[in-house]
Amino acid sequence: MHIQALVGTALLAGGTLAYHMESPVGPRGKGPITWSRVDEYRWPMDLCGESTFEDKTNHDKSPLTADCEKVISELAAHDNSVVYGGGWAPDEENIEQYVGAHTAGTCTFGFRPQAYGSTYYKVGYTDIVDVMRDALARFGDGQRVGAAGRFDCVNDDSQRSPLGPTLWKIWDVNHP
- Provide the residue ranges of all domains of the chain, joining segments of one domain with +: 3-172
**DSSP one-letter code for 63:** P
H/E element, 170: strand 162-172
Q: Tell me the pTM.
A: 0.76
Higher pLDDT, 134 or 39: 134
Among 96-100, 139-143, 154-158, 160-164, name the most confident range. Answer: 139-143
Whether 15 and 106 have beta carbons less than 8 Å apart is answered as: no
41-65 per-position pLDDT tens digit: 555 678 889 999 999 999 999 999 9
H/E element, 101: strand 99-104
CA distance 74 to 92: 33
Whether pLDDT at 27 is above 60: no
CA distance 13 to 8: 8
Q: How far apart are the first and last CA of the chain?
A: 23
Whether pLDDT at 159 is above 90: no
**Beta bridge partner(s), residue 147:** 55, 170
**DSSP one-letter code for 98:** P
Amino acid in the structure at residue 161: S
Higher pLDDT, 114 or 20: 114
Q: What is the dihedral of CA 143, 148, 152, 155, to 10 degrees?
A: 70
Nearest of 94, 114, 126, 93 to residue 169 by alpha carbon: 114
Among 1-5, 121-125, 154-158, 166-170, name the most confident range. Answer: 166-170
CA distance 130 to 46: 9
Higher pLDDT, 51 or 77: 51
Which residues contact residue 97 at a Cβ distance below 8 angstroms, ignoring those fewer than 6 apart? 23, 25, 26, 27, 30, 33, 88, 112
Q: What percent of the chain has pLDDT over 70?
A: 66
What angle do helix axes 65-76 and 125-139 make, rounded to 10 degrees? 150
pLDDT for the residue numbered 80: 77
113-145 per-position pLDDT tens digit: 887 666 677 888 889 999 999 999 999 999 999
